[in-house]
Amino acid sequence: MIDIETVMEDDGTLRACKALGHAGAGKAGTDIVCAAVSVLIRTAYGTLSGRNGISVRYGAPEPGNFWLEVDYNAEGKDFLFAAGTFLIEGLKSVAQEFPMNCRLNIRTLRRT
């Protein structure tokens, strides 16, 4: 099972995403669920990296464990919102299609 946790601001802006585990939907190197989650998160990282107004950190310390964290300023907010929306919709789709292999938890940061 891949457990994915995302952290969003209360307006839907992405702040973090972490995926941990193996889907078990196929043999290593051929697992479509692992591939889908990996591609979505790595593409989000690649899309956000180097964008003005966005700072992104990414790590993949071992197979089946990767994360990204995002900070932004006013210049990067709209782009980050759009990219985060795309990522979340993709991850929701994978989790809905493969509920025995992928679980998505979306945590919302409340502004005080």
How do the domains of the chain map onto residue ranges? 2-109
What letter would DSSP give residue 27?
Answer: S
pTM for this model (two decimals): 0.91
Domain spanning 2-109: CATH superfamily: Cysteine protease Prp (3.30.70.1490)
Residues 100-111 have a mean pLDDT of: 92
pLDDT in tens, 49-91: 999 999 999 998 888 899 999 999 999 999 999 999 999 999 9
pLDDT in tens, 34-60: 999 999 999 999 999 999 999 999 998
Q: Which residue has the higher pLDDT, 26 or 53?
A: 53
pLDDT band at 107 (very low <50, low <70, confident <90, very high): very high
Quick one: pLDDT at residue 112? 60
pLDDT band at 111 (very low <50, low <70, confident <90, very high): low
Q: Which residues contact 109 (CB under 8 A, 6 or more apart)?
A: 7, 8, 9, 10, 15
